[in-house]
Structure 1
Amino acid sequence: MRYTLLFRQIFSLLNNLKYLNFDSSAGCSSNLSFYSLHPIDVSSTLLELHVALDNFNDCIYLLDGCFHQLQTLCVRMFMIPLSDTTISNKEKIPNLRCFSLHCNTKTKAYGELIVPLLQRMSNLEKLDLYFTVVNKRMFVDGNKLKKNIINYMSRLKTISFNIRSIIDLYNQTNLRSNEDIRHIFKDFQDNQIICCVDYFLETDRAEYLIYSYPYRLKDYDQILNNFTGGIFECVRNITLFDEHSFEHEFFLRVSQSFPFMKSLNVMNDKSQKNNLHSRPKKNNQDLPIIKYLHLVKLDLTDAHDDYIKQFLVD
């Protein structure tokens, strides 16, 4: 609450503010929430805002009347829940040129909240999207992105995204091929669109991932064994997850693909087929050394003991 009050006070004290970074990664340790508070003093000068918010309603609250001249809004959101809110999500936002929306928790409100908000941004030139959608019936594929979002943004020049869709296995739908998706995004010559489908039999679900490459986002969650590699110089935080064990070659591929990775979370409860003690000593010496040159945070809370040994002993 005190960070929200501080945020509000800034605009009372600084009448000619044009840029503000109030994201937790910039030193603030709490997401802002404006629920049940009085309106913020309107700022007619602010052009660019980076902020971490508690939920989707807070984003709507900021866009509807608080900052009339805002051109760039970068939002990290804790959650996007389905809501019975009466806050309007229909009026156009003509001045906004750049919008970034990141949410690390799963949402069921893609069609109900996210799509209507993006359709309001008719003059957008740059768009970044990062979220996971839970939907029992359909994946969010390239065709749906174009039909429901991109077609509403005639001035859009740059798009970066990582969108994961989760559905039940018994509700599988027809998926477009990579060639179909490349045709859909043919107007964005700087981007290659990559997609893949993963099936998790233990939990009876399927996941469809679609992302743009070169990859310009800082986060990349839930990397599986079928990760094909590439160079992701902008990524700082990654999560590894699979129902099958991670072997030495996989970790080598990850370290080479994310050269500036700072945070790594390994989520895998399966023992390695070729762990430290099962391999002959000579074979261990022949394996290439894996280096994490910039890693400062390692989370092995949800990892099998083999991965603890992989990082601390191997």
Structure 2
Amino acid sequence: MNRSVIYLLDLPNEILIHILSKLNNIDVLYSLFGIKNERLDSITRQKIYSNILNFASIIDKTTIIDRFCIDILPQISSNIKYLIVDSASMERILLASHYPNLNELKICNFRPKSLLHNLTDNPSFRYILKEQIIKLEFMNMDVIGEERSSKEYTKIVYAHILTYFEKLEHFSVGPRTMFGYPCLSICYLPLNACSSSVLTYLSINVRTFTDCLCLLDGRLKQLNTFIVQVYTMKTDLSLVHNLDALPNLKCFSFIYYGLIEVYDGQIVSLLRRMLYLEKLTLCIRISYQDAFIDPISLLNEFSLHMSRLKSFKFSISTENKKDDLVHYLSSNYIKRNSMNAGHEEVANIVCSLGMSVINNVFTIPFEFAKLVSIGNKFPNIIFNNVNELWVRDEVRFEHNFFLRIAQAFPLLKSLHVSDIERLRSDDDANKLSDNIQLHQIVVYPHLSFLSIDMEGTYYVEQFLNETKTHLPCLDQLNLSKYEDLRIVTNDFTREETRRNCANVRRLITGNEIVGSKDYHTYFPLV
């Protein structure tokens, strides 16, 4: 080529395909597909079909929905096997074309009142939902809190879906934390509620341990993977459950973040029914009176019944008195015991709380979304899955500790801070300064929820002073005392604390907030 200007279509196909491979599929479709150039249109199709036969896209911008629904989706719909859609645009997208190969559906911002029955009652969707969808996922569901609402939600959503989606084999509801998540509550519903003869994979939160038992009483006969998070270990002894063996269950994950004050072996009894389990994931917190739990000893309680168990990943936290601590908390002892049992590498975190101590033993990498009771000392591990963290200790947390937290928990969204030391509000550590400090600023890029369960200005200063900490996404702030906030912000006029407060939409304090003109300027979104 001797020309000084080379146009896109002057390039050979190999280079064009290489360029397109560097672009997001949505950008390719929106910008290049259907521009009435036969060569470029053919290359675009080749790129889309070769790289993403299971076409997936989150379509939530009104400005591009028309282009997708009118020009793009009808031309590629026969190749779409997987759709990720926002509930607000789902109905329009499904009506845009015929999807003969669509079998996986992920719905974001699910709102059952405005969506579920409209879809299932619409004859245009009936075949897709009843006969085609084998995998269904919900993300960011609406928030409910009352037990009555949870039972009602189970009837109108969970039970309805398992009945209506006749081919459904995989059903997952996320995210994997309890906050803002509608639980399944089935224990007082009819025996045929939430039943399916084809479902093999279920990932869900349930309200009680009894609800967990109900899901395993025979109504899901083909279930081989069950991932469950329990809100409370409450059981109703008046209910009689089918306690037969569960020969089809190959993968089981049980998560309970609350504190089990009386460990009565009901989890072990459940596990002993899983004769052919191959993968087990367990997260529990137990308050013991006399001993700490060795997770390998716990495994031995039921492993004799699990000859096929290949993987055991866990986080087992035991709270106890400090007596006889050395024998149970020796890291070398824990690692040696684990290696002798042939399982994954483990680590432990010890958190001292006055006369008691908490020992959390876990496999590496850490599998769970929430970590409770981490103290000043913790191993140099990156916790990539944790988005909710509770820190507390009998010794005050210094700046370097929070710097380590930011580095060790890169995806942290929720942080709860407390200690049991009585900090003096007038000591040198709490003197406010408008000068930039000689230390590295701690950055929490995703933190949206911060709770400081401690009176005094020390931690309020640590987090709100932008010369110490940067919180670009802080949405909710919980403080023990309104007066501490007023002092740290210098009656809501201090510039160094203004930026970290600017995005807060919800402010909760232990006493009444007396708003002023400067207060409302400081928190414009509250």
With structure 2 as the length reference, what TM-score do the two structures score?
0.54
Aligned amino acid, residue 154 of structure 1? S
Q: Is the 8 A contact 2:339 2:345 kept in 1?
A: no
Query: Which amino acid counterpart does residue 380 of structure 2 have in structure 1?
Result: G
Please identify, of 189-198 and 73-82, the stretch whose mean Cα deviation from structure 2 is larger: 189-198
Of 253, 273, 288, 2:404 maps to: 253
Q: 2: distance between equivalents of 1:149 and 1:76?
A: 20
Q: Distance in 1 between matches of 2:244 and 2:347?
A: 33
Instruction: Report the Cα offset of residue 205 of structure 1.
Output: 2.3
Deviates more, 1:77-86 or 1:44-53: 77-86
1:214 to 2:365 alignment: yes
Q: Quote how far apart the aligned CAs of 1:188 are.
A: 7.5
1:256: how far off?
0.9
The DSSP-based 3-state class of the residue aligned with 2:437 is helix
Residue type at the aligned position of 2:259: K
1:53/1:304 CA distance change after superposition, 3 Å: farther
1:54 paired to 2:204: no
Partner of 2:152: 2
Q: Residue in 2 aligned with 1:166?
A: 319
- Matched to 2:441, the amino acid is I
Deviation of the 1:280 alpha carbon: 11
1:157 to 307, 310, 323: 310
CA contact 2:283–2:316 (8 Å) conserved in 1: yes
Moved more, 272-281 or 227-236: 272-281
User: 1:70-121, CA deviations, whole angstroms, 9 ceiling, x for partnerless residues?
Assistant: 1111111111136635534742211111111111211135443111112222
Mean CA deviation greater in 189-198 or 220-229: 189-198
CA distance in 1, matches of 2:419, 2:455: 5
Partner of 1:296: 448
Whole-Å separation in 1 of the counterparts to 2:428 and 2:229 = 39
- Matched with 1:93 is 246
Q: How far does residue 247 in structure 1 lie from its aligned partner after superposition? A: 0.4
* Range with bigger deviation, 300-309 or 170-179: 170-179
2:147 alignment partner in structure 1: none
More strand by share: 1
Structure 2: which 5+ residue stretches go unaligned? Answer: 1-150, 469-526
Deviations 1:159-203, CA, capped at 9 Å, x for gaps: 2221111224568694264333323322787732113444422xx
2:333 and 2:393 map into 1 onto residues whose CA distance is: 28
After superposing the two structures, state which structure 1 stretch, 95-104 or 106-115, moved more.
106-115
Structure having greater relative contact order (Cα 8 Å, sep ≥ 6): 1
Q: Which residue in 1 is equivalent to 2:221?
A: 68
Task: Select which of 259, 263, 266 maps to 1:106.
Answer: 259
Q: Which residue of 1 aligns with 2:336?
A: 183
Render the CA deviation track for 1:40-67: whole Å, top value 9, x for unaligned. 3531100111111111111000011110
Maintained 8 Å contact 1:235/1:258: yes
Would the alpha carbon gap of residues 90 and 148 (structure 1) be closer, same or farther in structure 2, given more than 3 Å must change? Answer: farther
Shift of 1:155: 2.2
CA 1:285–1:188 in 2, change beyond 3 Å: closer, same or farther? Answer: farther
Corresponding letter in the other structure for 2:255: H
CA gap of 1:99–1:214, structure 2 versus 1, over 3 A, is: same
Q: What are the equivalent positions in structure 2 for 1:110-149 lying under 5 Å apart? A: 110-149=263-302
Where 2:292 maps in the other structure, the secondary structure is coil
Shift of residue 154, structure 1, vs aligned partner: 2.5
Q: Is the 8 A contact 1:124 1:153 kept in 2?
A: yes
**Other structure's SS at 2:339 match:** coil
Structure with greater Cα Rg = 2
Residues 28-47 of structure 1 correspond to what in structure 2 (within 5 A)? 29-41=181-193, 42-47=195-200
Distance change >3 Å, CA 106–CA 130, structure 1 → 2: same
Report how far residue 142 of structure 1 moved.
2.9
**Could you tell me whether the CA contact under 8 Å between 2:369 and 2:386 is conserved in 1?**
yes
Equivalenced residues, count: 310
Which residues in structure 2 correspond to 1:230-249 (within 5 Å)?
230-249=381-400
Indicate if the aligned counterparts of 2:350 and 2:377 stay in contact, CA closer than 8 A.
no
Match of 1:195 among 348, 362, 365: 348
Give the SS at the match of 1:285. Answer: coil
C-alpha deviation, 1:252, in angstroms:
0.9
- CA distance in structure 2 between the aligned counterparts of 1:197 and 1:263, rounded to whole angstroms: 21
User: Which digits, 9 at most, give the CA deviation of each residue in 1:247-291, with x for residues without a partner?
Assistant: 00111111111111121111236438873637895xx63211211
Q: Deviations over 1:99-158 (max 9, x none)?
A: 111112111354431111122222222222212112222221134223114443322222
Partner in structure 2 of residue 277 of structure 1: 431
2:458 corresponding residue in structure 1: 306
Deviates more, 1:158-167 or 1:188-197: 188-197
Change (3 A) 1:156 1:63: same
Identity level (%): 28
Equivalent residues of 2:217, 2:243 under 8 A apart? no
Q: Which has the higher helix share?
A: 2
Q: Does the CA contact (< 8 Å) of 2:349 and 2:379 recur in 1?
A: no
Letter of the structure 1 residue corresponding to residue 403 of structure 2: L
Instruction: Tell me, yes or no, if the aligned pair for 1:79 and 1:106 is still in contact at 8 Å.
Output: no
Quickly say closer, same or farther: Cα 1:179–1:170, change in 2 above 3 A. closer
> For 1:148 and 1:237, how far apart are their aligned partners in 2?
31
The 1:183/1:162 distance shift into structure 2, 3 A limit, reads same
Query: What amino acid is the match of 2:169?
Result: K
Distance 1:176 1:235, change over 3 A: closer
* Residue aligned with 1:231, SS: coil
Q: Displacement of 1:15 after TM fit?
A: 1.7
Change in CA separation of 1:150 and 1:249 when aligned onto 2, cut-off 3 Å: farther
Q: CA deviation at 1:225?
A: 0.8
